[in-house]
Amino acid sequence: MAQPSKKTPIKKKKFSVSDFKKDLLGTEMSKSADKEMEWITMPQAYQDAVKLPGIPMSRTTVIRGWPDTGKSTLKNCIIANAMRQGILPVIFETEGNFDFQYAKDCGMDIEPIYGKIEEIDDETGELVEKDGIVDWEGDYFLFTNKKICEYCGDNDYSTGTKKKNKRNTPVIEDIGYIINDFIDKQENEELPMPLLFIWDSVGSISSWKTLQSKVGNPMFDAAAISAVFKPIFSRIATTKELGTPYANTFVVINKIWVDNMSSVGGAVSIENSGGKAFQFGMRLGIHVGGVAKAGVKKLKATLKGEEYQYGTITKISVFKNHLPTPYNITYSGTMCCVHNGIISEDELDEYKKKELPAIFEKIKALNEKLQDVSEDDVSFTEEGSLEE
């Protein structure tokens, strides 16, 4: 009797998640690691205060504080050092306070362009022409309120269409439109370089819906910020992944206010203007000055009765840090904001010797009372307190 033939057992191929991932996504898409941390390097005094090398690239950073606490100095130093590192600054100045000379003194690589400008004569009231600075040349983009409207003031954000006439009032949605447009140009290789987007400041312009309603409404503005910038946070964060050619960075200067309803037991509750979107979207949050008040020391020099403020000592602290280890630390310290950037308190005496004489000469040239002032006539004082 014939024996039944034995079937050869089928060998199952061992399943590999790694191979499946490569087959499904492709070799490059299956990689999910991030690049090593990259930084826009900041002055040593900043590094000593917060124990970080600078501003993290491929992430969103928020800088907040009361007026005159050092936010503009930080902004200028970020822009200057970004340019040194070959990063293109795209600056949104909706506060209307960009000081080109201060930015240049802090290291921004720009040069003045001179030409004829027209001004109203104070005495005659007539329009007169004189020589002056008409522009500043350099590798940067500065979007003032006027420039924003020139670029995208014909956008109708309720219909997604273009209008015939351009607005003369910028809205929150314009900032998002320009950022996305620049990133699109970068991805299309029209703009093949890393970008720094820096906005000063949240809370200074309203939303499209508020503009159309002609009634200020913080809820409209908070909703617009959330809708506009959540996708941008993701686009910025994507550039930290391996294989992405350029690291884009977003830095925001945020207005603040005290929420008395949330303050408990004497503790002050600080809120960022524009709602919670940036609070959740930031990876690093920096607070300058005090919490309940400015909390700064004004550095003053007196020249024969004429007082001049030459700097500020301010507190600086990290109030949120979602950076990877070992950078996820929250230190605080102090820094001095002077005419050419950031220095430490230990450097003040050297600054007085090296930098202030030239500044005093300029002051003397503008004030006849100070023509014969010598070093012996100058006295230095500090006004204010770092305490709350």
Q: Which residues make Cβ contacts (< 8 Å) with residue 167, sequence separation at least 6?
A: 149, 153, 154, 211
> Nearest 5°: CA angle at 329, between 76 and 340?
20
Given a contact cutoff of 8 angstroms between Cβ atoms, the answer to whether 255 and 203 are in contact is yes
Please give the structure tokens belonging to residue 21: 């991932």
Q: How confident is the model at residue 330, as a pLDDT?
A: 92
Q: How far apart are CA 52 and CA 285, in angstroms?
A: 12
Q: Which residue segments constitute the domains of the chain, with CATH numbers given?
A: 34-290+314-344 (3.40.50.300)
Q: What is the pTM of this model?
A: 0.89
Given a contact cutoff of 8 angstroms between Cβ atoms, the answer to whether 75 and 46 are in contact is no
| DSSP codes joined into one string, 341-375 | EEE-GGGHHHHHHHTHHHHHHHHHHH-GGGTT--G
Q: What tens digit of pLDDT does each residue of 152-205 get?
A: 999 999 999 999 999 999 999 999 999 999 999 999 999 999 999 999 989 999
Q: How confident is the model at residue 273, as a pLDDT?
A: 78
Q: Which residues pair with 116 in a beta bridge?
A: 131
Q: How confident is the model at residue 6, as a pLDDT?
A: 64
Q: How confident is the model at residue 305, as a pLDDT?
A: 85
Q: How confident is the model at residue 111, as a pLDDT?
A: 98
Ranges of residues in the chain whose predicted pLDDT is under 50? none
Longest dimension (CA), the chain: 130
Q: How confident is the model at residue 191, as a pLDDT?
A: 97
